[in-house]
Amino acid sequence: MKIAVDVMSGESPPKTLIQGALKAVEESDVEVVLVGDETTIYKELEQHSQSYKQISVVHASEIIAMDESPAKACRKKKDASVMVAGALVAKKKTDGFFSPGNTGATLASSLFSIKRIEGVKRPALASILPTVKGYAILLDAGANVDSDPEHLAQFAIMGEIFVKKILEIPEPRVGLLNIGEEDIKGNELSQKAFEIIKTIDFNFIGNIEGHDIFEGDVDVIVCDGFTGNIVLKLSEGLGSVVMRLIKNEMIKNYKYRLGAYMAKSALRSVKERFNPATYGGAPLLGINGCALVGHGNTGELATKNAILTTAKMARAKLDKLIKKSIHLHTLSTG
């Protein structure tokens, strides 16, 4: 597997992303193509005495900043690192790409170069969330602000395949995020989506509510991108706040500090469960290839794991499986 990494975008310095890439090749047989300013990249690689046969470099002369308009920037900056990384996948020179930069630019690069899978109406971002029992995915997590019922049905199909192949859950439980569990709950979008999704041949458990997300009783959480992005940001913020609250309480009393010391391993484990670096980013599902969107401040661990996750998606031929399932769904619905 060969994965392209956009090392120039985002808030982290290229050095951090390059070091993460080096860790990925040290721990696997994955080949990595570093995309960006070649002078900067080679300067960093020279700092490492070890020769990396699995590393190559492709020059890109431009960068799309986090605050730039994705559509305008992608049309204007054809040689931006995120655009070049996407083009490598489209030309079959790599099997997937990862970018920790402007989310909109990564989406635009994927759509401009790699294109949507035939039959897929809207690609979706799938965010991997920690639960009491493991992990679940939430999609759409922000690729589409507005969706229709058929979009949500396709998100459910794509998410179920991802969970089967990447999270390795044999029979994923699919739930539709709503304001109540009853079939008749929700707005027109939710009700119509429910009617379509319940006809699909997988384990649909019906509507779920917000408090169900982290219980671990649902593996694929389906919603529109507006709602999904709010849930995602809330969960990220909540994890950070909970750890800060625990830390503040420990400072108040030496008995609390002693208890915390004794529970140090457990607390560290909880903290790691909320660490977005575990999988490295959010996969973009519904394109003719593999792409992973990272956080702007992606670190070494997140970069390494993003590369390995993207490679796993490519090995599983996730796009081919999604294409087949969407085609069957289209035939069944006319």
Whole-number pLDDT of residue 285: 97
This prediction's pTM: 0.91
End-to-end, the C-alpha distance of the chain in Å comes to 37
pLDDT above 90: residue 18:
yes
Q: Which residue has better confidence, 93 or 280?
A: 93
pLDDT above 70: residue 265:
yes
Q: 232: Cβ–Cβ under 8 A, 6 or more apart, which residues?
A: 127, 129, 138, 141, 142
Question: Tokens 């029992």 — which residue?
Answer: 133
**CA-based radius of gyration for the chain:** 20
Whole-number pLDDT of residue 218: 97
| Over residues 278-292, mean pLDDT | 92
Closest to 221 in 3D by CA, of 178, 176, 261: 176
Instruction: Band the pLDDT of 332: cuts 50, 70, 90.
Output: confident
Whole-number pLDDT of residue 329: 85
Whole-number pLDDT of residue 280: 83
| Over residues 299-307, mean pLDDT | 94
Whole-number pLDDT of residue 154: 97
pLDDT above 80: residue 331:
no
Q: Which residue has better confidence, 254 or 25?
A: 25
Strands (E), 87-218: 96-99, 124-125, 127-130, 135-139, 173-177, 203-208
Question: Tokens 């294109």 — which residue?
Answer: 115
Domains and CATH numbers, the chain: 1-118+286-315 (3.40.718.10), 121-278 (3.40.718.10)
pLDDT above 70: residue 334:
no
- One-letter amino acid at 154 equals Q
pLDDT above 80: residue 271:
no
Six token digits for residue 49: 């005495």
Residue-wise pLDDT for 66-116, tens only, equals: 888 888 888 899 999 999 999 999 999 999 999 998 889 999 999 999 999
What CA–CA distance (Å, rounded) separates 31 from 123?
26
